[in-house]
Amino acid sequence: MIRAFSKLNITFACVFNQEKMITSLKMFYTSVGRKLIMALTGLFLCVFLLEHLYGNLQLYKIDGGKAFNEYTEFMTGNMFIRAVEFILFAGILVHALDGLMLTLANRKARPVRYAVSRQSQNSTWFSRNMGLTGSILFVFFVIHLREFFFAHRFGGATESMAASVANAFTTAWYASLYIVAMIILGFHLNHGFQSAFQTLGLSNHKYIKTWKCAGTVFALIMMIGFASVPVMLYFDFMGMSSNILGK
Amino acid sequence: MSETINVKLKIWRQKNTSDKGRFELYDMPGVSTHMSFLEMMDVLNDRLVREGKDPVAFDHDCREGICGMCSMYINGRAHGLLKGTTTCQLHMRHFENGETITIEPWRAEAFPVIKDLAVDRTAFEKIMQAGGYVSMNTGNAVDGNALPIEKVKADEAMDAASCIGCGACVASCKNASAMLFMSAKVSQLALLPQGEPERYVRVLKMMEAHDEAGFGSCTNTGACESECPKEISIAHIARFNRDYLTASVVSEK
C-alpha cells in the first residue's frame, strides 16, 4: 500500500517536473504548493462544515423534524447545490489524497528516526498528528455517508432523514462513535484552521495569535455543535428524539 | 548543590555515512557541573584517545553560540533542553546526578551522517547558492546610510539574520523541513532595499533547492521556532509562503 502510494508520488513528480513547465503550475508540485492545496481544500471544507452544522441545528426546533427534513430536501432538490456537491466530494478526496502523499513524503525526509524524541516539549499533539486524525476522519466520513447519504440518495430509504438520524442516534454505539469522531474533528480543526492561514501567507507576528485563537474557537464550535445532536437524541433531552419518532 | 555529577552517556557511533551505526554507553564519573556540554565531550574524547580508542566525532567551533556548528540531539531535544541556546551554551548543571544522557546526530535525509554526531549540512549551502544572495555591480561601495530603511523592517531583517544555520529547525521538525532556515534567509534579504529587486526570483529558486535536497514540507507545528537557538519566528515562514505564492503567480517564466 505504502509502496503503491510512493510510486504514485513518483509519477506525480514526473508529470510536474518537466523542464519547461510554467511556474504557476509547477508551484503545485513543490512542498509549499502542495501545502497550498491542503490549505485551500481545508478551508473550503470548513465552509462546508458551517453549512452542515446549520442544517443539523434545525433539529433543535423540536417540530417533529419538519425543519430538518425541509432543509435536507432543499439540499437535494436544487441543481446548483447538486453541482457544488461534486466539488465538495472532489475537495474531500483531494484533501485526503494530498494529505496522505505529503505524510508519506515527509516520512521519507527522515528515514532514520530518533531513539529519544521529546516533541511534546516543542509542539502540540494536535499539530503532529494531523495525518492520524485525518485518517480517522476519512474512515468516519465513509461510514457517515453510507448511513445517511447513500441510504437516502441511492438506497431508496422510505423514512424521513430526521427519522433516520433519530433512529441511528438512539443506538448507544452509534451515538458514541459520532461523539468520538467529532472530538477528533475538533482536534484536526484546532491545528488545521490556523495552519491554513499560515500556509497561505496570511499570517505575521500580529495575526499569528489571532488565527490560533480563531482556530480553537472554530474547532470548539464545530465539535460541540455537531456532537451535541447525538447527545441530545440519545438522552432524549428536550424530547428531541421522541418528538421525531412520535413516541 | 554538589560540584560534580556522575552521568552515563548513550552516544550514537557511526564509522561513516554507509555504516549502520549503533549506540554505545560511556560512564562519565565526576563531571564538573560548571562544564559546558561540549567540554564534557572533550573530557570523554581525551579519555578515549588515552585508551587508544576512536574519539567521538562532533561539530563545534566558536563555543559561544554564534557559529552554528555544534549540533547534537540531546535527550530528545535539539541542542538539549534549554530554550534559545546552542549545545555549547548548555551546561552540565542542567543534568541530574546518575542520569543517562542520549546523544544523537541530527536526523534528516538531507543531512547524512559523516561520522558519529557530525552531519553534512551542505544542503543548506545548496539552498543559499540557489538564491540566498544579492546581485550587485562592482564599483565604489555605496554609503550604507544613504538608503533610507524603515526601523521596523531593519529590526525584522536583523532578527532573521540572526539565524546561524545550525539546522536545529530541521532536526526538530517532524518532517525534517528546512522552512524556518530558508524563510529566515529570505527575510533578511527581502526586507532590505538591496535584496528587494530579486525578492520573487529568489524564493522560486530557493524553494526548488529546498525540495531537491530532500527536506520535508512544513506542517506548521512550530517545533522549529521553539527549538531555534536564535528563537526565529515562524512569521518568517508565513512571509516566505506569501512571497512564494505571489512569485508563482506573477512570474513570467
**Percentage, residues of chain A above pLDDT 90:** 74
Residue A6 binned pLDDT confidence (cut-offs 50, 70, 90): low
Beta sheet of B22-32, edge-to-edge order: B22-32, B4-13, B100-104, B73-74, B77-78
- Nearest partner of A46 among A185, A211, A228, A150, judged by Cα: A185
Give dist(CA B178, CA A210) in Å, integer: 25
* CATH class of this structure's domain B121-250: mainly alpha
* Domain chopping of chain B, boundaries: 4-114, 121-250
Q: Choose the CATH number for B4-114 among 3.10.20.30, 1.10.3720.10, 3.40.50.2000, 3.20.20.210.
A: 3.10.20.30
pLDDT at A13 exceeding the cut of 90: no
Reported pTM: 0.92
Please report the pLDDT score of residue B144 as a whole number: 76
How many Cβ atoms are within 10 Å of A57's Cβ, its own excluded? 16
Q: Name residue B93's amino acid.
A: R
Structure-block grid coordinates of residue A209: 495569535
Residue A23 binned pLDDT confidence (cut-offs 50, 70, 90): low
Cβ atoms of B149 and B103 within 8 Å: the answer is no
Please report the pLDDT score of residue A8 as a whole number: 53
Select from A24, A123, A202 the Cβ nearest to the Cβ of B221: A123
pLDDT at A49 exceeding the cut of 80: yes
All residue ranges of chain B with pLDDT < 50 are none
Cβ atoms of B10 and B25 within 8 Å: the answer is yes
Helix intervals (H) in B164-233: 168-172, 179-190, 199-212, 223-227
Mutate to test the interface with A, among B11, B100, B220, B225 (most CBs of A within 10 A): B220
pLDDT at A18 exceeding the cut of 90: no
Q: Name residue B228's amino acid.
A: C
Structure-block grid coordinates of residue A25: 503550475
Cβ distance of A106 and B207 shorter than 8 Å: no
pLDDT tens-digit map of A174-231: 999 999 999 999 999 999 999 999 999 999 999 999 999 999 999 999 999 999 999 9
* Domain chopping of chain A, boundaries: 33-105+128-245
Residue A152 binned pLDDT confidence (cut-offs 50, 70, 90): confident
**Percentage, residues of chain A above pLDDT 70:** 90
Mean pLDDT for A6-17 is: 51
Chain A residue numbers with beta carbons less than 8 Å from the beta carbon of B241 are 32, 35-36, 198-201
Please report the pLDDT score of residue A14 as a whole number: 47
pLDDT at A247 exceeding the cut of 90: no
CA contacts within 13 A on the Cβ side of A31: 29
Residue A32 binned pLDDT confidence (cut-offs 50, 70, 90): very high
SS3 of residue A137 by DSSP? helix
Structure-block grid coordinates of residue B25: 554507553
Cβ distance of B226 and A106 shorter than 8 Å: no
Start-to-end CA span in chain A (Å): 49
Please report the pLDDT score of residue A136 as a whole number: 97
Cβ distance of A119 and B107 shorter than 8 Å: no
- Selected residues 195-224 of chain B with any CB under 8 Å from a CB in chain A: 204, 207-208, 210-211, 214-223
Residue A1 binned pLDDT confidence (cut-offs 50, 70, 90): very low
Cβ atoms of A165 and A148 within 8 Å: the answer is yes
Chain B residue numbers with beta carbons less than 8 Å from the beta carbon of A27 are 244-245, 248
Helix axes A66-77, A31-56, angle to 10 degrees: 140
Domain A33-105+128-245 has CATH 1.20.1300.10: yes
Cβ atoms of B104 and A116 within 8 Å: the answer is yes
Mutate to test the interface with A, among B24, B219, B236 (most CBs of A within 10 A): B219
Structure-block grid coordinates of residue A153: 440518495
